[in-house]
Amino acid sequence: MRQSEYQRLKNIYYFRLQKMNELLIKGGYVVDPASGFEGYADILVKDGKIEAVSTNITANHSVRIIDATNKHIIPGLIDCHVHFREPGLEYKEDISTGSRAAAKGGYTTVICEPNTNPTIDSPAMVDLLSERISKKSVINVFTKACITKGSLSEELTDIAALTKHKRVKALSDDGNPVFNDALMEKACKLSAQHSIIISPHCEDSPVYLNKIKENPNATRFPGEPYSHETDFAKRDIRYTEQARGRLHISHISLKNTLAAIQQAKERDIGKITCEVTPHHLLLDNSFRDKDGNTPKTNPPLRSREDRDALQRGLVNGILDVIATDHAPHTDDDLKKGATGFVGLETALGVLLAKLVHPGFITFKELIAKMSTNPARIFQINGGSLAEGMPADIAIVDINKEWTVDVNAFESKGRNCPFHGWRLKGKVSTTIIDGKVIVDNYRIQC
């Protein structure tokens, strides 16, 4: 028997064995923003569900007990913006390595972007992806589907058909803005009719910059390239409000975009939400990597003024979600101009170290942005430790000190701006559907 086949059967046996047993998490400090509960309690897990949350739960000798003394117990993290690169770009990342990286970082659910090769732009492609997820992933994985075929802003996908698939949680052309106004307006109307979120990338892209040279219908804004996030965001907010739909703006990076979103929320016509990445919250365009370069991502790292505005937006509630935009690349791809960072294994640690421990936001507020809010916005059955909910749980040692080492990542990607940072706070245990995937800081499968 081939080693890979042996490992697969071993994993299946391991999961089935766990499923038969109950888990009891003892002595931890429970933080559940969904219910508002915060305090010491035990959690009993049975048949993949949370059976009880109470003090001093007792169980028989067959129950596995996890000691969470001096640790925090939280609903599993949910990332609504990741790139697992499969199908077609598995040399950068695949479903197996991406899901392992997610579990290591405390994530129990992610939503993948559709810019694979080929793109996720048809029900058949969603079916293909779903089959691979079922075979390879150790966590819950959903996907976004393209707004336009091939993410090229030339023809809408079959939005009605795509929204019927349970795996599809939103529509997005990811790295490309929809640069045909008429198509974006129609997409917003159709998404409202079919009750699904539009989640656009509101910034220039290489494809967009090339297309506007030859396409008379392409949206054009004045100014330098990669400065049009706010312009695209305002346009997409306008179309969403006209359709009375739902819009979730990906990885905002500018204070002016934040102001436009705040104004839209105050009007309360469409349902407008947004996300920010850890790197846009913590870094600005003065940041230099170990080689003295400003690492490339899209949207780019912005000014310190923009970064500070985003931090204020986090505190005052304008920013709903923190998402990583986990984007693995090889060194060769980076040298050729690829943009983006990996972030699943560092997000919680850098945010605890840089925002929670200094007192900028509370731990409970952070978990709301990283679990409860994305569950609510994208209608995912998670983000809560209430009885009867799926047993998707992370246990965090918020005082665990560690140093980021990209060479120890589960992800294939090494393009992380936080390499070498000394952090305080790390996930010790990740439980998904009642199965212990990460135990004592190590992947178990």
Phi and psi angles of residue 417, each rounded to the nearest 5 degrees, phi first: -70, -10
Length of the chain: 445
- CA atoms of 275 and 270, how far apart (whole Å): 17
Q: How does strand 64-67 pair with strand 140-145?
A: unpaired
- CA atoms of 354 and 237, how far apart (whole Å): 32
- HEC profile for the chain? CCHHHHHHHHHHHHHHHHHHCCEEEEEEEEEECCCCEEEEEEEEEECCEEEEEECCCCCCCCCEEEECCCCEEEECEEEEEECCCCCCCCCCCCHHHHHHHHHHCCEEEEEECCCCCCCCCCHHHHHHHHHHHHHHCCCEEEEEECCEHHHCCCCECCHHHHCCCCCEEEECCCCCCCCEHHHHHHHHHHHHHCCCEECCCCCCCHHHHHHCCCCCCECCCCCCCCCCHHHHHHHHHHHHHHHCCEEEECCCCCHHHHHHHHHHHHHCCCEEEEEECHHHHHCCCCCCCCCCCCCCCCCCCCCHHHHHHHHHHHHHCCCCEECCCECCCCHHHHHCCCCCCCCCCCHHHHHHHHHHCCCCCCHHHHHHHHHHHHHHHCCCCCCCCCCCCECCEEEEEEEEEEECCHHHCCCCCCCCCCCCCEEEEEEEEEEECCEEEEECCEECC
**Inter-helix orientation angle 95-104/123-136, to 10°:** 60
Q: Is there a contact between 191 and 169 (Cβ–Cβ < 8 Å)?
A: no
Judge whether 289 counts as a catalytic residue: no
Q: Which residue out of 325, 392, 397, 433 is catalytically annotated?
A: 325
- CA atoms of 44 and 24, how far apart (whole Å): 5
Q: What positions carry a catalytic annotation? A: 325
